[in-house]
């Protein structure tokens, strides 16, 4: 069975500092990995995904994520945080062999960027 | 940029009442989903729909739930007799390529359902 763990409920970072939101996953085959962001009273917005190739994936709003197969991780990063990045971030996974199956989500990490 | 839209944004209903949540997926998308998020919990899959039939459903999606694509644009989720525990944010999502696991699912803004 597929699963995703986001070990931190809350991450606080000062504006201008680098940020990391952690995600680890478990799948039986090769993973497809996704990050979504949810702003207050809004839906889930797609940020980036890892399918294959380069382990460092770049996405929207200056975010990037690094796929690490040996550590089964897909941490979300940004070199310099903005107050407007404050939101709820979800990591999700799908198994390579499962076709167009539903995404399995982590429980979310609330990012708070302080001015 | 095309978006998934959902109506209403907030629905309040009495326990035992029927509700219909509506979604308009992105126009050239073929595969549709409903997910839900109970307050403070993770986003959970309910059902997927392709080619006018249910493709996959979770154990949450019991006989009280049904989905329909009544015309070429709308995709609906019906809850026949709502329970208190159905209170949640319901998200619709769509994806273009039904065969590809690499395709991105695009989500709507959600409908917050409150059952009293």
Tens of pLDDT, residue by residue over A50-102, are 988 899 999 999 999 999 999 999 999 999 999 999 999 999 998 766 556 78
Count of CB atoms situated within 10 Å of the CB of A8: 15
Q: Flag if B104 and A49 touch (Cβ within 8 Å).
A: yes
- Cα distance between residue B58 and residue A15, in whole Å: 40
Write down the pLDDT at residue B94.
93
Note the pLDDT tens digit of each residue in B44-57. Answer: 999 999 989 999 99
The answer, for B110 touching chain A at a CB cutoff of 8 Å, is: yes
Mean pLDDT of B18-27: 96
Q: Rounded to the nearest 5°, which phi and psi values hold at A53?
A: 90, -140
Q: Say whether the peptide bond before residue A24 is cis (omega within 30 degrees of 0).
A: no
Residue of A nearest to B35 (CA): A102
Q: Flag if A95 and B104 touch (Cβ within 8 Å).
A: no
Q: Flag if A43 and B31 touch (Cβ within 8 Å).
A: no
Write down the pLDDT at residue B19.
98
Indicate the DSSP class of residue A52: S
């Amino acid at each position: 069975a597929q699963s995703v763990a986001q070990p931190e409920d809350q991450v606080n970072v000062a504006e201008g500092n680098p940020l990391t939101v952690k995600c680890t996953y478990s799948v039986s085959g090769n993973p497809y990995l996704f990050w979504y962001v949810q702003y207050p009273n809004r839906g889930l917005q797609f940020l980036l995904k890892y399918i294959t190739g380069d382990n460092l994936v770049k996405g929207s709003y200056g975010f990037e994520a690094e796929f690490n197969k040996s550590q089964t991780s897909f941490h979300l990063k940004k070199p310099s945080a903005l107050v407007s990045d404050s939101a709820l971030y979800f990591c999700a996974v799908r198994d390579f062999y499962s076709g167009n199956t539903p995404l399995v989500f982590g429980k979310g990490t609330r990012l708070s960027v302080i001015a | 940029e095309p978006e998934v839209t959902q109506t209403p944004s907030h629905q309040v209903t009495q326990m035992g009442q029927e509700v219909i949540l509506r979604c308009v997926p992105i126009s050239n998308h073929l595969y549709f989903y409903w997910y839900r998020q109970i307050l403070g919990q993770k986003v959970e899959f309910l059902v997927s729909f392709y080619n006018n039939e249910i493709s996959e459903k979770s154990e949450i999606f019991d006989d009280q739930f049904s989905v329909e694509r009544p015309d070429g644009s709308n995709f609906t989720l019906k809850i026949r007799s709502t329970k208190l525990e159905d209170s949640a944010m319901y998200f619709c999502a769509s994806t273009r390529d039904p065969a590809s696991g690499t395709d991105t699912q695009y989500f709507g803004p959600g409908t917050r359902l409150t059952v009293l």
